[in-house]
Amino acid sequence: MAIDAGYKLVLLLKSVDVLEPDDFTHAWVEQERQTPTSSHGLLRTAFGGPSAHASPVASGSPFDAVLETWWDKKNSAADWVTSREFHEAWLPRRLELLASRPTAVGGIPQTLRTSEQTAGLRCVKVVVLPVSSGRLRFHEFTGMWTGDHARLALAGAGTAERVLQLEYTPAPLKPPSIFNCGPYSGVGAITFASMEAVTAELESDYYRTTVAPDEARFTDAAASASFATVEVALA
Q: From first to last of its 235 residues, what are the pLDDT tens digits of the chain?
A: 556 789 999 999 999 999 999 999 999 999 999 999 999 999 999 999 998 766 677 656 899 999 999 999 999 999 999 999 999 999 999 999 999 999 999 999 999 888 766 655 688 999 999 999 989 999 999 999 999 999 999 999 999 999 999 999 999 998 889 999 999 999 999 999 999 999 999 999 999 999 999 999 999 989 999 999 998 866 5
Domain 7-233 bears CATH identifier 3.40.50.300: no
Report the b/e string of 130-140 with b at 16+ CB within 10 A. Answer: bbbbeebeeee
- CA nearest neighbour of 175 among 11, 30, 51: 11
Distance between CA 163 and CA 179 in Å, rounded?
Answer: 30
Distance between CA 58 and CA 76 in Å, rounded?
Answer: 33
Distance between CA 125 and CA 210 in Å, rounded?
Answer: 22
Per-residue model confidence (pLDDT) at position 15? 96
Give pTM, 2 decimals. 0.94
